[in-house]
Structure 1
Amino acid sequence: MSLGFTDEEFQRSWKELDEPQLLGGWELFTEASGLQIHRLHDKETGLYEYKVSGVLSACSPGQCADVYMDLTYRRRWDGYVKELKEMDFDGQTVIYWEVKYPFPMSNRDYVYMRERRDLDVDGRKIWVILARSCPEVPCEEKKGVLRVRDYKQSVALESDGAEGTKVFMNYFDNPGGLIPTWLVNWAAKSGVPGFLKDLQKACSEYSNYCQKK
């Protein structure tokens, strides 16, 4: 079974670094810390798909990509991680990720694949990371933890021409269960900028972390 991504999927992601595609119902949801978050209502689920664009200051795109890919380091700086590890499935690597949810809601877990490519596009250095859920992978479910079966994310990174990183992110996540609308909105409006802020801090401390390993 092949779980890979196509060249076209990578191309679609980095092309939105220059100009996010926002036709067809996308609306500006919020702006925070130099980032714009747009959303698109998904009629089938009643949830929203999101696009995030802007600049992360004082961290290079290559370092952002390294930090994003380092699961061991992620367990240190991301307080929402309960468990995060790589697993082998049919000769391919997939990731198991359990996320802490606030009481009284159940934690969620994901089984997903991801791939990073460092691209040279007409002299432009662009880092792209794609991820999506793999419901076909047989991974035993934990009691009291809800399995997220519909998740996708793409991240494209490029230098902003100074010391920062131009970023574009597209994601959709169907957490399942009965989650209040206020929490879904909070996660998008506050949680995403908060995560990116934590990512920037993690980038600034990554060199020291690597030296101590």
Structure 2
Amino acid sequence: MEQTTSDALHKFRDMCLSETNWIECMSDGVQKEYQSINATDSVIAVKVVSNDFKDLPIEDVFNSIIDPDFHKEWDPLVIEWNVVDTKPENIKVIQMLVKVPVVTNREFVFDCEIATLFNEGVEERICRYESVDDNKYPVQNGYVRGTVGLSGYLVRKENDKVVVYCVGCSNVGGSIPKWIVNSMSKSAVPSMLKGLKEKVPNYNKWKNQQTK
């Protein structure tokens, strides 16, 4: 049975694989970093294409990304990750609470869509995030609501090697100037992928410990 997926998921996939509207700003042989401007609010979107996961099992890489409890192991800014609603096309609405240095902690509410696709024989696993109708859900007390633009992860098997595409585009909201938000975004995605790479080999051992 073919998996039902949204148009937004395919738009995200195309965003990952295309270089249109992206400016390459770094390439070191292992990964490439790109930047783009979100025309609606001048917040930078950052894309990283990483070959640093090439010898790791695709299942372990993707499970490390989508397991909400393990997410905290490689992204220390995450405080909580809760499912607050569901939508058609197997989309879950997530509330994520995060630490933000110096200022008030932030809360994000966004769609999370997960899919496995096969395109021209290439295995692709996708996790898409996007704040769509987050105003339906009340803001957590003590937090400031931020928003997530079209973001997420595409993990592919290319020539039997795992390649990770990660796009990050978020606005932490509040009164923080956009230039500070953009400065934070430029370093956040590469830093997260570095943390993820370090933790993926521990995923199965960690998972087994949770079930004991």
TM exceeding 0.5: yes
> What's the counterpart of residue 11 of structure 1?
10
Q: CA RMSD in A?
A: 2.8
Q: What is residue 99 of structure 1 aligned with on the other side? A: 98
Aligned AA (1:178): S
Per-residue displacement from partner, 1:5-50 (whole Å, max 9, x unpaired)? 52x4333444466x52324xx3223346822221122343222122
Distance 2:186 2:27 in 1: 8
When normalised by structure 1's length, the TM-score is 0.80
User: Given residue 96 of structure 1, which amino acid in structure 2 is its aligned partner?
Assistant: Q
* Corresponding residue pairs, total: 204
Contact 2:169 2:185 in 1 (8 A): no
1:72 — aligned with what? 69
The Cα of 1:81 is off from its aligned counterpart by: 0.9
How far residue 169 of structure 1 moved from its aligned partner, in angstroms, is 2.6
Q: Distance in 2 between matches of 1:42 and 1:85?
A: 27
Please state if 1:194 is matched with 2:195.
no
Deviation per residue, 1:46-89 (Å, 9 max, x gap): 22122222313342322221111100122333210122122235
**SS of equivalent residue, structure 2 residue 187:** helix
Cα distance between partner residues in 2 of 1:99 and 1:128: 23
Which moved further from structure 2: 194-203 or 82-91? 82-91
> Normalising by structure 2, what TM-score?
0.81
2:84 aligned to which of 83, 87, 90: 87
Residue in 1 aligned with 2:59? 62
Larger deviation: 105-114 or 39-48? Answer: 39-48
CA contact 2:172–2:181 (8 Å) conserved in 1: no
Q: What's 1:174 paired with?
A: 171
Aligned-pair identity in percent equals: 20
When residues 146 and 52 of structure 1 are mapped into structure 2, their CA distance, relative to the original with a 3 A threshold, is same
Aligned residue runs from structure 1 range 28-177, under 5 A: 28-31=24-27, 34-57=30-53, 58-88=55-85, 93-103=92-102, 105-136=103-134, 138-162=136-160, 164-177=161-174
- Mark the CA change 1:41 to 1:10 in structure 2 (over 3 Å): closer, same or farther: closer
Classify the secondary structure of the residue corresponding to 2:149: strand
Q: Flag the 1:90–1:189 CA change in 2: closer, same or farther, 3 A.
A: closer
Structure 2 spans left out of the alignment, 5+ residues: none
Specify whether residues 136 and 186 from structure 1 end up closer, same or farther in structure 2 by C-alpha distance, changes over 3 A only. Answer: closer
**In the alignment, which residue of structure 2 is the partner of 1:27?**
23
Letter in 2 for 1:147: R
